[in-house]
Amino acid sequence: MPNDKWYDAKVVYLTDLLDRAVQPPLLTGFTFVGCQVLGPAVVTLLDAGTLQGCRFDVRNIEEMLFEVPEGATKTGIVGLANCTFENCEIRAVGIAGTPDSLAKVRQGLG
């Protein structure tokens, strides 16, 4: 049986993967390898997800980061739980997080 959460060298729109019955929006356990991952979407990284060797279509990393105060609740952000992105090209996707979590993203993305 094929794994419907594993994408290799595909063009993937994150919003196409969402289960409309799940609120708030959440993607859990997906793996993307060598994919072109497309928004528009703003995501937040939950649990043990990874971003390795990915390229983002922005001039400056700050264009894609949205700082949210610790403990704040925001609507419309897609949670990524235990998702892995390896060697992907990511376009029109922003990342929301607390100052501490975004500092880790900045460090990981250089």
Backbone phi, then psi, for 73, in 5-degree steps? -110, 130
Continuous segment of H or E residues that includes residue 33: strand 31-33
Q: Cα–Cα distance between 1 and 53 in angstroms, integer?
A: 29
Q: In whole numbers, what is the pLDDT of the chain averaged over residues? A: 92
Sequence-distant (≥ 6) Cβ neighbours of residue 41 within 8 angstroms = 14, 15, 78, 92, 93, 94
> pLDDT digit string (tens) for 51-101?
899 999 999 999 999 999 999 989 999 999 999 999 999 999 999 999 999
Q: Whole-model pTM?
A: 0.90
Query: What percentage of the chain exceeds 90 in pLDDT?
Result: 77
